[in-house]
Chain A
Amino acid sequence: MIGVIRTALRAGFELIERPFERLFSPALNPLAQLGALGFFFFWIVAVSGIYLFIFFDTGIERAYQSVEYLTHDHWFHAGVMRSFHRYASDLMVVMVAVHLLREFAYDHYRGVRWYSWFTGLPIIWLLYASGITGYWLVWDKLAQYVALVSSELLDWLPIFGEPIARNFISTGTLTSRFFSLMVFMHVAVPLFLLFIMWVHILRISRPKVNPPRALALMSLVALVGVAIWKPAISQGPAALATVPSPVGLDWFFLPLYPLTNIWGNGSVWAFLGAFSLMIALMPWLPPLRRAKPAEIDLEHCNGCTRCAEDCPYEAIRMVPRTDGMPFLTQAQVNPSLCVSCGICVGACPSSTPFRRTQDLRTGIDLPEFSLKELRERVVEAASGLVGDARVLVLACEHGGAAGRVEGTVVLPCVAMAPPSLIDFVLSRNLADGVAVAGCAESACYNRLGVMWTEQRFAGMRDPYLRARVPRERVATIWASALAVKKADAEIKAFAGRLAKLPPKPLRSPHAPSTASRSPAREPADLGDET
């Protein structure tokens, strides 16, 4: 059932994401920056909130007056800031909601990712608590409604001896100190929220907490435009002897408030409890089957740190050397954080299929899918290729090419393939071209696999794809699991381009086979260089 919902939701996201990727480019795609935009809007709310606090008065009468003063008399700075404060808060809710749905749709919440998913739950609660206490402070009709319904909700819980909602039914019961308390709450809760946001990203390597500058700038300019077009205003002073109706609700922060009237407070609490419980348990419904974590082979590890730098899950750290070898550090895998994506294998300089050792070993390897096995599968898949444009596909198991059979080797992540594997395939004439087919560019299942692959191929990140590898014979194809046709079409187009290329020159000085494209070529040698 959950799988069906996830697939349907994912198809929905795919519909939006592709046009977004085309318009914004994968790097600027807002849907791939939801977490970073959440942080960005938090900072806008924080800065604008500090600015507004300069003008705010905590007196019971003066609270409303001070907000009116800054909204109308100083609309060009404080009024704009008020709009910033409100709309950035609403946008943060939108970012959090879409972020949650997208992580669910792309199955980014099970396995070791349970931690970020789980710590997202208090973020939702604290975000709502921050917003609701903020609406209280304006002390207009909406604030009165929020105060009454919030306190009635709290009164339903068997915590308070006297109904706190009684404080909001006549003016005599409310004092200015109450607003001082609310200001304290409205500062303390967001501070705690920020702390939990930090906890939320603790286990993520290179978390995106800042959106790309161009996206941030456009968001800021759009926010200014919206603040001038539709400034945030109050809804008339609170009058406790009246019912605040009708009232302009903020449907992002207060969608459940009308339900208290329809369902009753107990049902709303039951809904919130069920929602929270479901979110909390989802990473284990059902649990993700985990392959055995990566293992270090100290004989082949020189402590270069590349695996630790490339790991998207902070699962590898460098520790002092234990085997007496003349290196300062060695890699150490934390099994509870490792997802066995193999990105570390692709990053290790020892991971070269050219090695002539009988038992191909590398510094860090996956027990259930070793580099040796990868090389064997590549050779086997390539042996079945025929024709003038033989394409070997290295496919990500989460991408659109994962279902291919012919000439395809499926990996947990394309970044598991060391660049030397491409060199190996082409220089050994195992194929005429190599297509590396991963996830959608802005929705990499293992977060950094697409980026590392591109950077390695571009010579921007160790280990590089060697200069001798003809780039026209290497294609990168980024297509999600639902974009099977796109992946197939791009692979066919790549084969078409290959067919038009002149015969491939043999560059490897030790390659055993000829450079011809004869289908009846010699079996490939498995290694020769080291």
Chain B
Amino acid sequence: MSWALRMVGQFAVIAALFAAVAWLSDRPAYRQIPEGSAEMMLTFVHGADRRGECRRLSPEEIAKLPPNMRRAQDCPRVRRPVYVELDLDGRNLYRASLPPTGIAGDGPSRVYQRFVLPAKTYDVDVRMRDTARSEGFDHQRHETVNVAPNQLFVIDYRAESGEFIFR
């Protein structure tokens, strides 16, 4: 094999490898949801009420505390779980009791759930319980929404206003 021919062969092998790499760098395309479908996401971070009531400390108890740690009330740290339900067109899609986060169980509960759905109009009903009550719900929202193909429909909860946000 002549020197030039050999060089051409070497270059051809390298170029073919590089071209294959370039091709695989964005192909074949990946479809994470089927065509004509959308995603609904239920996600929020919210701390429920604490498990117990705060207790007012007596003057003697306050006096026993170090001066820099004196406080009027003793509140339990552990929070209650947040209970949440999501219905679509009257059928339950998700329900869960979300435990508080943190080693001591004093952090907020959190949820991050994705649902792949056909793109169409839905009756969305979301409910949440974050207090000591055992029945009924503290927050809820019902709405009819049109979900477009490839739309990411997010259901969030805003603690400041105490309401669910649809976007």
Residues of A within 8 A of B (CB): 20, 23-24, 28, 30, 83, 86-87, 90-91, 94, 142, 145, 152, 155, 161-163, 165-166, 169-170, 218-219, 221-223, 225-226, 229-230, 232, 235, 240-252, 257-258, 261
| Sampled A-B contacts (7; CB under 8 Å) | A83-B22, A152-B112, A166-B112, A242-B150, A246-B30, A251-B24, A258-B30
- The answer to whether A247 touches B33 (Cβ under 8 A) is no
Q: How many residues on the B side are at the interface (Cβ–Cβ under 8 A)?
A: 38
Are B14 and A30 in touch, CB under 8 angstroms?
yes
Beyond A23-B6, A245-B30, 14 additional pairs, beta carbon < 8 A: A23-B10, A24-B10, A161-B108, A162-B110, A225-B15, A226-B21, A229-B22, A243-B33, A243-B39, A248-B29, A249-B26, A250-B24, A258-B30, A258-B32
Q: A169-B154, A243-B38 are in contact. Are A90 and B21 (CB under 8 A)?
A: yes
Least CB distance, A161 to chain B, in whole angstroms:
6
- State the 10 A-B residue pairs at the shortest beta-carbon distance, nearest first: A248-B26, A246-B31, A246-B29, A222-B15, A249-B30, A163-B112, A226-B18, A245-B32, A222-B14, A222-B18
Q: A248 to chain B: which residues have CB within 8 Å?
A: 26-27, 29-30
Instruction: Contacts A222-B14, A243-B151 given; indicate if A155 touches B19 (C-beta within 8 A).
Output: no
B105 at interface, CB cutoff 8 A = no
Q: How distant is the Cα of A248 from the Cα of B27 in the complex, in angstroms?
A: 6
Q: For the complex, is B41 an interface residue (Cβ under 8 Å from A)?
A: yes
CB contact between B151 and one of A83, A218, A242 (< 8 Å): that residue: A242
Q: Is B13 an interface residue (CB 8 A)?
A: yes
**Neighbour of B11 across the interface among A142, A152, A221, CB < 8 A:** A221
| B152 in complex: contacting residue of A28, A166, A222, A243, CB < 8 Å | A243
Are A249 and B43 interface neighbours, CB within 8 A? no
In the bound assembly, the distance between CA atoms of A212 and B36 in angstroms comes to 52
- Closest chain B residue to A233 by CB distance? B26
B107 close to chain A: CB less than 8 A: yes
Shortest Cβ distance from B101 into A: residue: A161
Q: Are A252 and B110 in contact, with the CB atoms below 8 A?
A: no
Report chain A residues within 8 Å CB of B110: 162-163
Q: Which residues of A contact B23 (CB under 8 A)?
A: 230
A241 touches B152 (CB 8 A): yes
Partner of A86, one of B25, B30, B31, B108: B25
A169 near B30 with CB under 8 A, answer no
Task: Return B158 CB to nearest CB of chain A, in Å.
Answer: 12
Closest to B34 in A: A245
A91, A142, A235 interface centre (most CB from chain B within 10 Å): A91
